[in-house]
Amino acid sequence: MTEHRPFLVPKFTLQDLANAVYTNKVYLSKTINRYSGKNFRQYVNYYRVMYAMELFRKNMGLRILEMAQLSGFRTDTSFLRSFKEVMGENPSIWCSRMRKKNNKN
């Protein structure tokens, strides 16, 4: 996931990942759930949110919609929901805090 970043493809599926790691999707789904505590969609969206944050740290001029699109989300609503689920706050609040932190340095 981190090396090839397949999650950047908006239509990335469990079957796509299963094919990439040469296993079946039922086994893969159970494995992801067991070791991450997340279902496949939550697992993928976690990586997308982390990537969006990485992008923003490199370019603090990015808008939230751009962050969503560049990190593989199909909709901004999905991005907003996933970001809040992963980070516990809205992306706009997180981005503002990062900008303030960056301005202090």
pLDDT along the chain (105 residues), means of 10: 94 96 96 97 98 97 96 96 97 95 81
Quick one: pLDDT at residue 23? 96
Give the separation between CA 20 and CA 33, rounded to whole angstroms: 18
Taking Cα atoms as reference points, which of 13, 43, 12 lies closest to residue 25?
Answer: 13
Quick one: pLDDT at residue 103? 85
Give the separation between CA 54 and CA 16, rounded to whole angstroms: 24
Quick one: pLDDT at residue 91? 97
Quick one: pLDDT at residue 105? 62
Give the separation between CA 70 and CA 51, rounded to whole angstroms: 9
Q: Determine whether domain 6-104 maps to CATH 1.10.10.60.
A: yes
